[in-house]
Amino acid sequence: MGMSHQGRTYSIWIEAEQWAPGEWTPDDDNSDVMVTFENGEQWVASFISYQNVLSLTDKNRGTGECLGGKYLAVTDMILIDVVSRERIEQVVADLIGDDALGAHFTRCAEAGAKPRVTSLAPQFLVDDLSRSIAYYEKMGFTFGKPWDGFYAIGRIDGLELHLKEEPKNPAERQYRRDHEHLDAAAGVDGIEAFYERSVANGVTIVQPLTPTAWGTKDFYVEDPDGYIISFGGRPTLKE
């Protein structure tokens, strides 16, 4: 299985090793890590470099997330000087030696447990990847380095948006526009603040924030390639 420490054999999976070449910057990055023992037990935690905490805080100050950078909430967070395989292996071995892995990692579901979908992301075909990245950054998405210059994944609050620089079908795009079909719909906690931030950052609004018949508020945005996304949520209660 790869490694052994104090009689326990295990392997370590590092999410960052699955990224495109050049996306992983160990001095200023974060990555999920899974430890699998020979008996099948699996434990997961998020490793974050000290520098990445500062970088995320600076980013949140700009986007307004986490009260404008006043806090950082990460489940099962382990701070580390550098997010490299060598250092992660050293930390895992140290925690196993201190019988402390379970205090800092979360145990994954047992084999045979009911399957659970953990993510679902739209993929938009775009004409200009850099232009699209810049647009979605206005809404608070963060992007790593594009893969081979044509594919990028935006992340916000644990969710993803995939962008691929490829030709679109003009007839299909026109059909969706003519019949007012959405390309994606998103739910937001704090919809008013999210709307105000989007307007302030120059996001193209095609329908302003409006109350719905079912008790929520929503607004529509249009990206540079004509994709229409609805953002909606329950209005904030007034005291």
The whole model's pTM is what? 0.54
Q: What distance in Å separates the CA atoms of residue 44 and residue 36, rounded to the nearest whole number? A: 9
Predicted confidence at residue 72, as pLDDT, reads 87
Residue range(s) in the chain whose domain bears CATH number 3.10.180.10: 123-233
Name the residue type at position 222: E
Average pLDDT, the chain: 89
Average the pLDDT over each of 116-130, 154-168, 221-235 and give the range with the smallest value.
Answer: 116-130
Question: Residues 125-168: pLDDT tens digits?
Answer: 999 999 999 999 999 999 988 888 899 999 998 889 999 999 98
43, two tokens: 């434990």
**Distance between start and end Cα atoms, the chain:** 57
The secondary element (H helix, E strand) that includes residue 230 is strand 228-233
Residue 204 CA to residue 185 CA, distance in Å, equals 16
Tokens of 89: 């292996």
C-alpha 58: how far from its chain's center? 17
Q: Helices then strands (H, E): number in the chain?
A: 7, 14
Residue 77 · residue 45 · CB < 8 Å: yes
Domain 123-233, what architecture?
Roll (3.10)
Query: Shortest CA distance to 150 belongs to which of 169, 167, 172?
Result: 167
Segment 75-109, tens digit of pLDDT: 889 999 999 999 999 999 999 988 889 889 988 86
pLDDT(63) > 90 = no
User: Rg of the chain's alpha carbons, rounded to an integer?
Assistant: 21
Q: Please give the DSSP secondary-structure letter assigned to residue 144.
A: -
